[in-house]
Structure 1
């Protein structure tokens, strides 16, 4: 399954195999979105190791002198601050949105750390996707409207990523809406 930790992903979202839950039928399609990670955890280990090694180079010149004890706290404070800042960035980037589509129902779920899970449901036949090139909080603001509400999708995606998602989303919703409108045989 594609996800936030996959290497080599070109976009921070993917159409995935629908996950089965015992209490409901399998969705027809499933979209998983996550924030872009410019520094994966494996890269963080190498980066932090190299930074720590380079940060200790100035200390080599003062080994054995009392100046070492004056500089050491600043080097350690810098490394500790860098570690804490990057770890904070990883925690705040654990947002995941999941759009699950059935012929008669669409469900958007947003999961964030230390916040309750937010859900929105509507009939895909009546859902209208919209791309707001300007006038939204960000360029290419992507929304879904239905069931009396308008919700944003992929707020953490870049402008170009929202535009690419916009090109993929309406055809999927249109096919589901058409399938829902067809009479059962």
Structure 2
């Protein structure tokens, strides 16, 4: 690798998680406490089927958050050099898929609806991949601007 091939742009994209681990534990304690109390009260008056549904609610909330946190383990790495644009996608299970495009031919397609960037795709020679589908529109827009500038800068430095 020569100096000219040195990485000039590198970004790691990952889904935003608004609830911290501590927040999750507090929220689950509230759900378990509230639903557990409801289950015990309904069992005390003989309405045991309601208690079953209360426990099912706890399990569903726990399962939904488990799936959400699992999807939060995915990320994408985007690197731009004068020679190539590399997009590396890592799934929640750890499976890695790489997409490589020549910088000179790479095109960034940005789809906007109103003022929001709703779709971001990079491609070349009939191949393309979506980037940052899990980002919010504002983050997707700022990333699109940075990536487009990096591609243009590296195209000129060839």
The normalised TM-score by structure 1 is 0.68
The normalised TM-score by structure 2 is 0.78
Matches within 5 A, 1:74-89: 74-89=53-68
Structure 2: runs of 5 or more not aligned: none
The residue aligned with 2:89 is 110
The residue aligned with 1:50 is 30
CA distance in 1, matches of 2:154, 2:66: 40
The residue aligned with 1:41 is 21
| Count of matched residue positions in the alignment of Structure 1 and Structure 2 | 152
Structure 2 counterpart SS, 1:113: coil
Moved over 6 A (4+): none
Higher strand share: 2
The residue aligned with 2:129 is 151
Judging changes above 3 Å, is the alpha-carbon distance between structure 1 residues 124 and 55 closer, same or farther for their aligned structure 2 residues?
same
Structure 1: runs of 5 or more not aligned: 1-24, 181-185
Higher helix share: 2
CA distance in 2, matches of 1:58, 1:148: 58
RMSD of aligned residue pairs (Cα, Å): 2.7
Judging changes above 3 Å, is the alpha-carbon distance between structure 1 residues 127 and 75 closer, same or farther for their aligned structure 2 residues?
same
Judging changes above 3 Å, is the alpha-carbon distance between structure 1 residues 139 and 103 closer, same or farther for their aligned structure 2 residues?
closer
Structure 1 counterpart SS, 2:157: helix
Higher relative contact order structure (alpha carbons within 8 Å, sequence separation ≥ 6): 2
